[in-house]
């Protein structure tokens, strides 16, 4: 009997990939990963039946990356996806997993992207190509793509590709690959066309079925909040201040982030502790006991650390990082609503994670309600209510004679009335934790939330407002292997900013520049500084605004026009002088 898989190091993956997934916070393989990786590593074909959101991208990407020959500069893996959004997502996953593979190159190919860009990238010799059937077939027809060295073809969400009418393109593309190539087909359903393709192209495939759980407790209210990554912490802080709860469990993706997030919350005055896989059993039990007893109200945990957790007082679960699969989501929210009690689950999703959000809704067969961000006025009102409750309890329980006498003395000495004294004391009492909430600029960018207008969002900078833009410098350049799409994807994903607010991106050997709104909130700039592109932090900084450029251009233009204006002014003065003299010019002097 084979031993159960405990970690990715048990799956015979190459060391750079194990290092990458560890850094990404993956602790143990998901069921589909544990089932698919071994046969794919052995070169076998795989037929996987699994929903979106079950973790299947890593299930095929990791073993295929382990078998890539980095010395070859030709496509060795071809992944076909039904949509360009999924193509980008899968390509980004390959790039993340292959971050420690020297000179590894993955290329997404899809409609709407410039051909000139795709031609230049194909000439570089990508190891992995991820694309939509239509654009891949187009390149084959043009002769700009050669699949003769492809060792594996992956059909991702095959049923969706066939539903969209790509069956002929898929068949034609497969026919251009070598006969002895490996093949993996993943589909949520098994319609007749999928069966025919699998029988025709897969050789004795390992069949893997992952059944997603499809039910959650009716007594758990499920809501979601769309928030860019740069504003997630401020959003979390507002929710914790405005929601009514007994105990809270916050799920974070990695062990490191549990400690960091717990520390930031503790600095805000919350009673919180982390729970992760690095803790020994004694520390784990002590932390859980503190949550049960009420000595702490909030616990930040990873999926693995929270397994088997049963604390009745947990009334709120917050998915700070969206789970990688639907099973994990169901397990997470199952930590609340215990013993028939009411529970609430809040899911944070960035604008680019809507697809996974839809997968969760399909798997649970329950729509999630969109939650509105608590305003700073709401936070202020909640803080005042809590302060009032504490003040009322204190006045009922504490002897106040000494302070009453002191109040009269202060009023006489300072020559103020009781209202002024009370206001001053209140202001002094709330200095450590202000009652009035500040309006975070990271959460108050209404321009970014404007509904998209038809024809406005066609790529970086097209159709965007041209005013109030600034130039920002990024400390990553072409020598680091960065491309425009890397920077565009990182900024859009981390900030939630629509592409119409992202201007020109220019790549230089040692640095890059990007045009972004002049009033970019400080919180977002700080977040982007530590965002990695091409395995290096962006270290973004503002250089100058477009308004400054325009001002300088106007000054230069004025200087250029100044001699001309002076000539006109002199001519007018001369004409006026002649007119005053009776319209006759003085005769020229002798010798002239």
Topology given in CATH for the domain delimited by 220-374: Rossmann fold (3.40.50)
Q: Which of 53-62, 320-329, 545-554 has the lowest mean pLDDT?
A: 545-554
* Mean pLDDT, residues 576-589: 56
pLDDT at 177: 95
* Mean pLDDT, residues 367-371: 87
Closest alpha carbon to 240 in 496, 431, 437 = 437
Domain ranges (residues) in the chain: 8-209, 220-374, 377-429, 442-448+457-547
- pLDDT band of residue 249 (cuts 50, 70, 90) is very high
pLDDT at 307: 67
Q: Interior CA angle at 227 toward 114 and 108, to 5°?
A: 25
Topology given in CATH for the domain delimited by 442-448+457-547: Alpha-Beta Plaits (3.30.70)
pLDDT at 589: 52
- pLDDT band of residue 16 (cuts 50, 70, 90) is very high
Two domains, one topology: 8-209 and 220-374: yes
* Mean pLDDT, residues 137-145: 93
Which region, left, alpha or beta, applies to residue 128 given φ > 0 means left and ψ of -120 to 50 means alpha?
Answer: beta
Q: How far apart are CA 220 and CA 581, in angstroms?
A: 97
pLDDT beyond 70 at 447: no
Closest alpha carbon to 323 in 344, 340, 346 = 346
pLDDT beyond 80 at 338: no
Q: Please give the structure tokens belonging to residue 8.
A: 């990715």
- pLDDT band of residue 122 (cuts 50, 70, 90) is very high
pLDDT beyond 60 at 79: yes
* Mean pLDDT, residues 482-497: 80
Closest alpha carbon to 315 in 290, 346, 276 = 346
Q: How far apart are CA 166 and CA 194, in angstroms?
A: 12
Which region, left, alpha or beta, applies to residue 291 given φ > 0 means left and ψ of -120 to 50 means alpha?
Answer: alpha
List CB contacts of 453: < 8 A, sequence separation 6 or more: 463
pLDDT beyond 60 at 592: no
More confident residue, 450 or 210: 210
Which ranges constitute the DSSP H helices of 98-186? Answer: 115-123, 133-142, 158-163, 167-175
- Running DSSP on this structure, what letter comes out for residue 293? H
Q: Interior CA angle at 560 toward 555 and 561, to 5°?
A: 95
pLDDT at 182: 96
- pLDDT band of residue 128 (cuts 50, 70, 90) is very high
List CB contacts of 9: < 8 A, sequence separation 6 or more: 18
- pLDDT band of residue 181 (cuts 50, 70, 90) is very high
pLDDT at 191: 80
> pLDDT averaged over the chain?
81
* Mean pLDDT, residues 199-208: 92
- pLDDT band of residue 482 (cuts 50, 70, 90) is confident
pLDDT at 530: 81
pLDDT at 567: 58
CATH class of the domain comprising 8-209:
alpha beta
* pTM metric for this prediction: 0.48
């Amino acid at each position: 009997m084979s031993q159960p898989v405990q970690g990715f190091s048990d799956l015979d993956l190459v060391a750079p990939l194990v290092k990458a997934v560890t850094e990404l916070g993956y602790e143990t393989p998901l069921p589909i990963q544990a089932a698919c990786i071994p046969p794919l590593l052995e070169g076998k074909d795989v037929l996987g039946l699994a929903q979106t959101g079950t973790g299947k991208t890593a299930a095929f990407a990791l073993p295929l990356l382990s078998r890539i020959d980095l010395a070859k500069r030709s496509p060795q893996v071809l992944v076909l996806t039904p949509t360009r959004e999924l193509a980008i997502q899968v390509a980004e996953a390959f790039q993340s997993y292959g971050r420690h593979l020297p000179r590894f190159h993955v290329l997404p190919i899809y409609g709407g992207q410039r051909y000139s860009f795709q031609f230049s990238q194909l000439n570089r010799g990508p190891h992995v190509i991820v694309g939509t059937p239509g654009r891949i077939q187009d390149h084959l027809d043009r002769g700009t793509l050669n699949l003769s060295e492809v060792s594996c073809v992956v059909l991702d969400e095959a049923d969706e590709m066939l539903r969209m009418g790509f069956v002929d393109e898929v068949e034609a593309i497969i026919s251009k690959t070598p006969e002895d190539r490996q093949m993996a087909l993943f589909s949520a359903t098994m319609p007749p066309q999928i069966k025919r393709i699998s029988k025709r192209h897969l050789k004795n495939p390992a069949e893997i079925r992952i059944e997603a759980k499809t039910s959650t407790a009716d007594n758990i209210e499920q809501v979601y909040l769309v928030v860019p990554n740069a504003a997630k912490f401020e959003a979390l802080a507002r929710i914790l201040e405005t929601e009514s709860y007994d105990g809270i469990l916050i799920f974070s993706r990695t062990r490191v982030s549990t400690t960091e997030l717990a520390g930031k919350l503790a600095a805000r005055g919350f009673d919180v502790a982390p729970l992760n896989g690095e803790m020994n059993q004694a520390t784990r039990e002590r932390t859980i006991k503190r949550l049960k007893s009420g000595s702490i109200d909030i616990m930040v945990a990873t999926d693995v650390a929270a397994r088997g957790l049963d604390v009745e007082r947990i009334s709120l679960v917050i998915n700070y990082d969206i789970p990688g699969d639907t099973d994990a989501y169901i397990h997470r929210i199952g930590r609340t609503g215990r013993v028939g009690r009411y529970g609430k689950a809040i899911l944070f999703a960035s604008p680019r994670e809507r697809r996974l959000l839809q997968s969760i809704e399909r798997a649970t067969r329950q729509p999630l309600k969109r939650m509105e961000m608590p305003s700073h006025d709401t936070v202020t009102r909640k803080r005042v209510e809590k302060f009032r409750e504490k003040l009322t309890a204190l006045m009922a329980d504490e002897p106040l004679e000494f302070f009453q006498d002191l109040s009269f003395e202060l009023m006489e000495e300072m020559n103020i009335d009781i209202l002024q004294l009370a206001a001053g004391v209140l202001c002094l009492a709330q200095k450590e934790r202000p009652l009035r909430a500040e309006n975070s600029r990271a959460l108050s960018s209404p321009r970014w939330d404007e509904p998209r207008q038809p024809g406005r969002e066609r790529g970086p900078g097209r159709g965007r407002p041209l005013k109030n833009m600034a130039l920002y410098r990024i400390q990553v350049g072409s020598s680091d292997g960065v491309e425009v799409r890397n920077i565009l994807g990182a900024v859009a994903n981390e900030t939630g900013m629509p592409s119409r607010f992202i201007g020109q991106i220019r790549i230089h050997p040692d640095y890059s520049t990007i045009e972004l709104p002049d009033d970019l909130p400080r919180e977002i700039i700080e977040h982007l500084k530590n965002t990695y592109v091409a395995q290096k932090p962006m270290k973004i900084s503002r250089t100058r605004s477009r308004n400054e450029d325009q001002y300088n251009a106007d000054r230069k233009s004025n200087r250029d026009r100044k001699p001309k204006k002076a000539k006109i002014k002199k001519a007018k003065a001369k004409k006026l002088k002649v007119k005053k003299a009776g319209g006759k010019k003085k005769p020229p002097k002798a010798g002239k």
